[in-house]
Amino acid sequence: MSTLHQRTIQLGPSTITAIVDVTTPWPILPVSGEIWDKVRASYPSSFYNPETLLGRVHCYLIQQAERTILVDTGLGKAPAPTQPLSSQQLEAQLALLGVDPAMIDTVFLTHLHVDHVGLNTHYVDGSLQARFPNARYLAHQAEKGLIAFMQQHSPERAGYLQDQVLWLEAQGRLEFFDPDFELAEGITTWFTPGHSPGHTALVIDHGTGERVLLAGDIFFNPIQMFEPSFATGLDVDSDQAQATRLAVLAQVSDGKTLVAPCHFPTPSFGYVVPEGTAYRWLPIEDELTRG
């Protein structure tokens, strides 16, 4: 029996659910021991063991009265970077929510890395098909630059693009957009390049005084709140990614923006709080202490 790996919040007419698709140990990132000690003390749930991070791949489901939007499709059947503790959970988690793939009308892709597009398609009796048959798939126009970059610089890692991205484009199912636009009532795109050329977040704001940022990979780990300049080595343009992080942090540290990255520990919803010249991450389980 599948176990529920979700967290749901309500904002105006939008029900937003974080779904864990993959949980896996990640090699620790190269940064000073002093910083890691601070991260270990503040975010023990970020660690599998003292020397290994606990990585997660979250997808997000947004439900309104007449809309069902899936943000990213997880890793799918692509191999995890290390032996996963759990994987390929998205379909099971949607089923537990009572959401059939045919109910999803839009698949919004924050960017086109493998762990965000892995269940865009699947094979049925040897035939490739869109996994969400009634959905339009959306990605930023600049993500075509990521496709070209990977095909040129990492062809050994670009194989997934054929089935999960290029096939959808050839079928007229994947639309590339530019500039930012309103995806649904109170849901707008926010161009946030750096991690990839067309990386785009979603802002959900219904005029209630609170808003939610589905941040994709603007932030990879809470360490980037303490050290916004820290680069993971996974960004296409690390300088642009840092500039984007700093700009986003300045705008979402208002105490009114719930931020939901892809790879943060569960719960992946939290607030960004100014701390000295940087910031810290406050998961919603600690919300009452945010002052």
Q: What is the mean pLDDT of residues 135-156?
A: 97
Residue 84 predicted with pLDDT over 80: no
Helices and strands (H and E) in the chain: how many: 8, 17
The identity of residue 150, as a single letter, is M
Range of 2-11, 232-241, 280-289 with top mean pLDDT? 232-241
pLDDT of residue 182: 97
pLDDT of residue 287: 46
Q: What is the mean pLDDT of residues 99-109?
A: 99
Distance CA 192, CA 39 (A): 25
pLDDT of residue 229: 86
pLDDT of residue 31: 65
b/e code 102-126 from CB counts within 10 Å (16+ = b): eebebbbbbbbbbbbbbbbbbeeee
Q: Rounded to 5 degrees, what angle do the CA atoms 87, 227, 49 make?
A: 40
Distance CA 96, CA 179 (A): 35
pLDDT of residue 232: 83
At 21-68, the pLDDT tens digits run 999 888 766 666 677 787 788 888 888 887 788 889 999 999 999 999
* Range of weakest confidence among 37-46, 72-81, 99-108, 146-155: 37-46
Residue 74 predicted with pLDDT over 80: yes
Is residue 58 within 8 Å of residue 246, measured between CB atoms?
no
pLDDT of residue 286: 55
The tokens for 164 are 């999960």
Distance CA 7, CA 107 (A): 19
Which residue in 193, 197, 108, 218 sits closest to 146, CA to CA?
197
Instruction: Determine what percent of the chain is predicted with pLDDT higher than 90.
Output: 73
Distance CA 33, CA 48 (A): 17
Residue 115 predicted with pLDDT over 70: yes
**Sorting pLDDT into bands at 50, 70 and 90, what band is 291?**
very low
Query: What does the DSSP assignment read for 94-136?
Result: HHHTT--GGG--EEE-S--SHHHHTTSEEEETTEEEESSTTPE
The identity of residue 220, as a single letter, is F
Q: What is the largest CA-CA distance in the chain?
A: 57
Domains of the chain, with CATH numbers?
Answer: 6-283 (3.60.15.10)
pLDDT of residue 9: 95
The identity of residue 174, as a single letter, is L
Q: What is the mean pLDDT of residues 5-11?
A: 88
